Amino acid sequence: MTATRNRRTVMKKDNLPLAQLVTSYELFNRASGKSEETVVWYQRRLNMFLRYVGEDCELGARSANKVREYVVYLQGRNDRRAGSPNVANPKGKLSSAYIHGCVRPLRAFASWLHAEGYTDSNRLQAVKPPKIQKKVIYGPEGVGVQNPIRT
């Protein structure tokens, strides 16, 4: 076992501030050469989760059930970026695709935590993002089709 791995085994990992680990994950993503848009996308989604659980949340408090509670919270939200000038209709449910996109960075973050030795296992491996609902697109004839054939 290397000295670095040995130190991580000894330290109390569950007491690490989640916000600090999110910052370390951002550094990892930047160093890995991910695009600026990807890094920002991950950070926004992870910071939304941090606001939900509280900025002082520790690694040990993050669990599969907490993420599931977060998904249920998002599914119950009735405001789409309230106050944003870019959203034409700020009232209404968040789309299943948006919620799906909020869970994916949490799962990637959990994989990174496990790979870096902060957790003994990937705690979110069993958490599946909600299915994305298919939208019906109405053609000029008023007929609904899910996957229009391109010619």
Asked whether residue 19 is domain-assigned, the answer is yes
Single-letter amino acid code for the residue at 12: K
Is there a domain that residue 94 lies in? yes
Examine residue 114 and state whether it is found in any structural domain, yes or no: yes
Q: Decide if 150 is inside a domain.
A: no
Query: Where would I find the H helices in the chain?
Result: 3-10, 18-31, 36-53, 64-76, 96-115
Q: Where residue 132 sits, what CATH number does that domain have?
A: 1.10.150
Full residue range of the structural domain in which residue 83 is found: 3-145
CA distance 22 to 42: 9
Q: What sign results for the dihedral spanned by CA atoms 68, 73, 77, 81?
A: negative
| Whole-number pLDDT of residue 7 | 45
Looking at the 3D structure of the chain, how many domains does it have?
Answer: 1
Give, for 137, the enclosing helix (H) or strand (E). strand 137-138
Q: What is the pLDDT of residues 15-30, one digit of tens each?
A: 788 889 999 999 999 9
- 87-120 tens-digit pLDDT: 666 677 888 888 999 999 999 999 999 999 998 8
Residue % of the chain over a pLDDT of 90: 40
